[in-house]
Amino acid sequence: MTTYHADTTGVLDEALQRLHAHGPEHHGRLSNHAPMAVEALAAHGQAGAVHRWLDHYAPKLEEFPSRVAPVTADGWADALGDIRRAADWIDFFGRELAGRPWRDVLAAWWPRLLPGLYGAATHPVIRVGHAVRTLLAAGEDVTAPRLAELGQALGYWAARHLAVTGVRPLPGAVPSAAAALDAVPLLAEQSGIFPDRLARVAGLPVWADGVTDPDTAHARLTELVRAATHRYATHGHGEETMLVHAATAPNAVLRVLPALPRAQWAPSLTAAWTASAAVTAMYGPASPLPATDPGSLTAGDLVALALDHGDEHVIKLTDTALDVGDGPAFSAALRAIELSARP
């Protein structure tokens, strides 16, 4: 795992303030990746490049969405999963975070939102993971833009809440996360947008079920992030963009665990496994390709390559690969750079 670079220049806060004037999506239902990408760049010592990268991404940004009606503490369930209420949800979490500590808000809402982790192709929970990383790093010196980013991320998650139903557990024990991902049945027809494919996922291997011990859950989730990242190095060609989320979604959950009550760790593992396995089923290729040899590439080299490429998914997978921090993970980041079109 590489060293986290706490941004003390104020650049990340400036970027987040700039982004909070815009909506969480663009062009219909595409997620706004900028808050995640700029946080990842700052986390790896590239704060000086944040605004330059954001200038290139800015044409994709859209205005903040219109408000419909306030989300209330009593009536929130009626607004769950309604993207038309995105602004209302963001306002709601802004009020929640202004009224009590952010960890308390997160602990209260995590179990409510976790079943809908799959909405917007898992981007909301990934955005929450980036936001929580900055808050944990800040300690007692939490800034308003970083707190607001958590509210924006939670609001987006609530508005895009989408649960998985009807997925049966497939029999047979699997010894590891890597073996479990290998055992995922691929969809016979890999076509359509994310929600349509997700609805066709009928069964997934049993791997995370039955875990109750928080420390075991943490260890299993760490193993899953490593296995999914390594797998991208040999299977990313199945769909270079969507398969990124098989690694980044569980890593987002892993980043949030230290901020959650330990009782919530095991359910978090189950949701993260289902997300990673479902993405594998929806987009995985039938056959692997040889991984790219990273040679003597350093973490700094890898960050520089991702920044030079510029694609937001490349930056985010590189961020996760650096968390894993080994040769196969570096190979995964290189594969993303090779496969992904430059913006």
- Taking a C-beta distance cutoff of 8 angstroms, is the pair 132, 106 a contact? yes
Find the mean pLDDT for residues 117-131. 98
Which pair of structure tokens corresponds to residue 319? 């961020």
- Taking a C-beta distance cutoff of 8 angstroms, is the pair 125, 157 a contact? yes
pLDDT in tens, 47-85: 999 999 999 999 999 999 999 999 999 999 999 999 999
- Taking a C-beta distance cutoff of 8 angstroms, is the pair 284, 184 a contact? yes
pLDDT in tens, 141-192: 999 999 999 999 999 999 999 999 899 999 887 899 999 999 999 999 999 9
How far apart are the C-alpha atoms of 165 and 185, rounded to whole Å?
17
- Taking a C-beta distance cutoff of 8 angstroms, is the pair 2, 44 a contact? yes
- Taking a C-beta distance cutoff of 8 angstroms, is the pair 83, 43 a contact? no
Task: Please check the confidence at residue 1 and state whether its pLDDT lies above 70.
Answer: no
Instruction: State the CB neighbour count (10 A cutoff) for residue 216.
Output: 14
By mean pLDDT, which of 67-71, 119-123, 139-143, 268-272 is the weakest? 139-143
Angle at 201 (CA atoms; ends 197, 205), nearest 5 degrees: 145
DSSP one-letter string for 10-43: SHHHHHHHHHTTB-SEETTTEE--HHHHHHHHHH
Which pair of structure tokens corresponds to residue 19? 């982004």
Find the mean pLDDT for residues 252-276. 98
pLDDT in tens, 21-54: 999 999 988 999 999 999 999 999 999 999 999 9
**Mean pLDDT, the chain, as a whole number?**
96
Residue 188, classed as helix, strand or coil, is coil
What is the value of pTM for the model shown? 0.97
Find the mean pLDDT for residues 310-328. 98
